[in-house]
């Protein structure tokens, strides 16, 4: 009998009281395992408090994007099931997008009126704990948690990583100055692509996607196909990259099980349902959205060769790949491993994720790194987990050196993430609003909605889409349609009073930053152009609403 089968029998035989007590303990353990993420956000708020600025709760550039999307569901105070691109400067931007989490967030934002960043952090805490709980469930389903070795391996599953820090430290000893950046080089984009599992939990939306994706894997292992299909459908509606990835993983595995292995436990109707979900998913993303020109403009900006090279893959996946390969070191061990359908699922999980993360070799690259997010690392770790459990068993059995060796191995396994979190906390990562930025945004929020904000401050343009009901002529770096053109148009408008063709000048609001070297020149130009007097001014910003009477 496999561990999966025996575990299933133990759960069925438990009373509700036992299950509730066990779940309470596991959720408490999940919260404890989330401690590095809690410390990261805590440092964001603490550093802001010490510096006298306002912490937004957004610790990475793209995080405000999700709250800006949510606001669009109630654009003009009217609810819409679909939302438009909040970073388009045009009020006529088509309402064509839908994601379940964005809809739920919009309802909370509209009904409760919380601070967007605070809501994002609370969502992150909830999603993070749930994602860790599902990670524990997945590991427990496969290998159990009865022994100390299994518990230590679970901690490694959540928080171990690669060898970037170890190799970086050696490199710094030889030829580079010591710094966090040097030590963690070349972890892509300063480690924010989350090549291992645990680091994803510091990003609220990624926590949710991982909860759904790993939950889908758990349900497939437990042969709960109806729920697995529901989970897959929600995931497919939630994210284009992760949805595509898991549709292909599930479809490939079910095709192997139904058509090649002839596994009677995997029903053909589940494969048919997966194909139906895939059809709807690809019809939406490949047919419906490209029928709108504004979306086509965005896709052209997303077509980027963000890919992994060997100097990234080896330190990122070397440890977990070695553990998995050791488990399958002989033909007999490989055959025994692949005789279990859940191991075949993990192998498909790895190969599909690896191929998608390297798709630049076959087709035009569309940010291949989007298919990493720990999804290569997770199946490799789980395939190699019995090897790591055996290593811990052996070390624990050594009475004298055992504790020292176990501790040393744990340090090696979690070193990358320990260094990364220390780096982020020290660098005071995230957006913090200066007092003048905050008061300027508060003033803008009092103006009638859907004004076109034109500013020489990128931060004002970006945060106006989050904290106000207005549009910005240019805001998010990747999601403003024709961004470079919009930046040039704004510069020409402010510097030379050249009105962009698509601008409704009577609806425009100008926000000038006094830190701009050309502030006095721009202000004097528009005095001669008979612009209205400033409606609002603070030590850092000047706001002019062009629907006012000229001076």
DSSP string, 446-472: TSPSS-EEEES-HHHHHHHHHHSS-EE
pLDDT at 10: 54
Structural element, H or E, at residue 117: helix 116-143
Residues in the chain: 551
* Residues of the chain above pLDDT 90, percent: 75
E-assigned strand segments in 354-504: 432-433, 452-455, 471-472
Highest mean pLDDT among 50-59, 186-195, 503-512: 50-59
Quick one: pLDDT at residue 4?
47
What is the dihedral angle through the alpha carbons of 46, 49, 50, 54, rounded to the nearest 10 degrees?
Answer: 120
Rounded mean pLDDT of 328-339?
96
From 465, 542, 479, select the one nearest 509 (Cα to Cα): 542
pLDDT for position 497: 80
What's the half-sphere exposure (Cβ side, CA atoms, 13 Å) at 332? 0
Distance (Å, rounded) from C-alpha 268 to C-alpha 67?
A: 40
Are 414 and 420 in contact, with CB atoms under 8 Å apart? no
Q: What is the mean pLDDT of residues 405-419?
A: 96
pLDDT score of 58? 97
* Residue 408, SS3 per DSSP: helix
To which residue do tokens 């130009």 refer? 525
Q: Are strands 432-433 and 54-55 parallel, antiparallel or unpaired?
A: antiparallel
Q: In the structure, what pLDDT confidence band is assigned to residue 549 with cuts at 50, 70 and 90? A: low
Q: Which of 109-118, 333-342, 511-520 has the lowest mean pLDDT?
A: 511-520
pLDDT value at position 501?
87
pLDDT of 550 reads 54
Q: Which uninterrupted H or E stretch holds 543? A: strand 541-545
Quote the CA–CA distance of 384 and 533 in Å, as a whole number. 68
* Tokens found for residue 312: 């990234």
Average pLDDT for the chain: 91
The pTM of the full predicted model, rounded to 2 decimals, is 0.93
Contacts of 433 (CB under 8 A, 6+ apart): 53, 54, 56, 441, 463
Query: Which pLDDT does position 14 carry in this prediction?
Result: 65
Q: What is the pLDDT of residue 529?
A: 65
CA distance 331 to 37: 41
Rounded distance between C-alpha atoms, residue 264 and residue 469, angstroms:
55
Q: What integer pLDDT is reported at residue 539 of this predicted model?
A: 94
Cα 120 to the center of its chain, rounded Å: 12
Distances (CA, A) of 441 to 231, 436, 467: 39, 9, 7
Number of H helices, E strands in the chain: 23, 7
- The pLDDT tens digits for 526-539 are 766 667 878 899 99
Residue 310 confidence (pLDDT) = 83
- In our burial notation (b when 16+ CB lie closer than 10 A, e otherwise), range 34-44 reads bebbebbbebb
Measured distance CA(371)–CA(349) in Å, rounded: 12
Residue 530: predicted pLDDT = 66
State yes or no: pLDDT of 348 exceeds 90: yes
Which residues contact residue 497 at a Cβ distance below 8 angstroms, ignoring those fewer than 6 apart?
525, 526, 529
| CA-based radius of gyration for the chain | 26
440-451 pLDDT tens trace: 999 999 998 889
Q: CB–CB of 506/402 below 8 Å?
A: no
Annotated domain spans of the chain:
162-195+306-364+374-420, 434-545
Triad 212, 214, 216: Cα angle to 5°: 65
pLDDT of residue 3: 52
Contact in structure between 235 and 216 (CB atoms under 8 Å): yes
How does pLDDT run across 175-211, given as a tens digit for each residue? 777 787 788 878 888 999 999 999 999 999 999 999 9
Q: Where are the alpha helices (DSSP H) in 144-224?
A: 148-159, 164-174, 180-184, 204-221
Residue 358 has pLDDT above 50, yes or no: yes
pLDDT of the residue at 1:
45
Q: Which of 29-43, 56-70, 418-432 has the lowest mean pLDDT?
A: 418-432
Residue with tokens 């997303």: 302
Of residues 18 and 93, the one with the higher pLDDT is 93
User: Range with the lowest mean pLDDT among 127-131, 420-424, 533-537?
Assistant: 533-537
- Residue 525, pLDDT > 80, answer no
| 5: pLDDT strictly greater than 70 | no
């Amino acid at each position: 009998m496999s561990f999966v089968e025996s575990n299933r029998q133990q759960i069925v035989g438990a009373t509700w009281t036992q299950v509730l007590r066990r779940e309470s303990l596991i959720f408490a353990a999940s919260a404890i395992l989330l401690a590095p993420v809690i410390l990261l956000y805590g440092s964001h708020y603490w550093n802001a408090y010490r510096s006298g600025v306002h912490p937004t709760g957004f610790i990475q550039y793209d995080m405000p994007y999700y709250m800006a999307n949510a606001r669009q569901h109630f654009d003009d105070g009217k609810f819409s099931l679909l939302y438009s691109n909040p970073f388009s400067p045009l009020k006529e931007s088509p309402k064509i997008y839908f994601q379940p989490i964005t809809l739920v967030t919009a309802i909370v934002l509209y009904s409760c009126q919380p601070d967007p960043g605070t809501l994002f952090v609370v969502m992150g805490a909830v999603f993070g704990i749930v994602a860790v709980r599902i990670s524990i469930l997945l590991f427990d389903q496969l290998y159990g948690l009865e022994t100390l070795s299994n518990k230590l391996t679970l901690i490694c599953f959540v928080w171990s990583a690669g060898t970037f820090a170890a190799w970086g430290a050696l490199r710094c000893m030889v030829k580079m100055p010591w710094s966090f950046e040097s030590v963690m080089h070349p972890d892509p984009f300063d480690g924010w692509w989350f090549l291992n599992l645990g680091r994803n939990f510091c990003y609220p939306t990624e926590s949710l996607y991982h909860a759904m994706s790993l939950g889908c894997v758990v349900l497939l292992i437990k042969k709960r196909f109806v729920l697995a299909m529901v989970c897959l459908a929600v995931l497919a509606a939630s994210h284009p990259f992760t949805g595509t990835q898991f549709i292909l993983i599930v479809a490939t595995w079910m095709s192997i099980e139904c058509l090649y292995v002839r596994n009677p436990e995997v029903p053909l109707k589940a494969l048919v349902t997966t194909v139906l979900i895939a059809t709807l998913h690809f019809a939406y993303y490949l047919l419906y959205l490209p029928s709108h020109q504004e979306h086509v403009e965005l896709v052209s900006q997303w077509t980027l060769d963000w890919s992994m090279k060997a100097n990234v893959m080896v330190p990122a996946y070397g440890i977990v790949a070695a553990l998995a390969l050791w488990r399958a070191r002989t033909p007999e061990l490989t055959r025994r491993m692949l005789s279990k359908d859940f191991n075949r699922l993990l192998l498909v999980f790895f190969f599909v994720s690896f191929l998608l993360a390297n798709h630049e070799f076959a087709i035009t690259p569309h940010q291949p790194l989007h298919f990493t997010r720990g999804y290569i690392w997770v199946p490799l770790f789980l395939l190699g987990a019995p090897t790591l459990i055996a290593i811990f068993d052996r070390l624990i059995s050594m009475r004298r050196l055992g504790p020292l060796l176990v501790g040393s191995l744990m340090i090696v396994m979690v070193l990358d993430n320990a260094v990364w979190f220390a780096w982020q906390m020290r660098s005071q990562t995230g957006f913090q609003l200066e007092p003048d930025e905050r008061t300027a945004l508060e003033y803008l929020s009092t103006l009638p909605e859907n004004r076109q904000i034109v500013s020489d401050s990128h931060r004002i343009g970006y945060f106006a889409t989050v904290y106000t009901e207005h549009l910005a002529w240019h805001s998010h770096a990747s999601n403003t349609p024709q961004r470079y053109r919009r930046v040039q148009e704004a510069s020409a408008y402010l510097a030379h009073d050249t009105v962009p063709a698509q601008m409704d000048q009577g609806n425009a609001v100008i926000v000038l930053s006094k830190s701009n070297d050309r502030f006095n020149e721009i202000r004097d130009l528009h005095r001669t152009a008979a612009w209205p007097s400033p409606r609002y001014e603070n030590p850092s910003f000047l706001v002019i609403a062009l629907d006012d009477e000229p001076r």
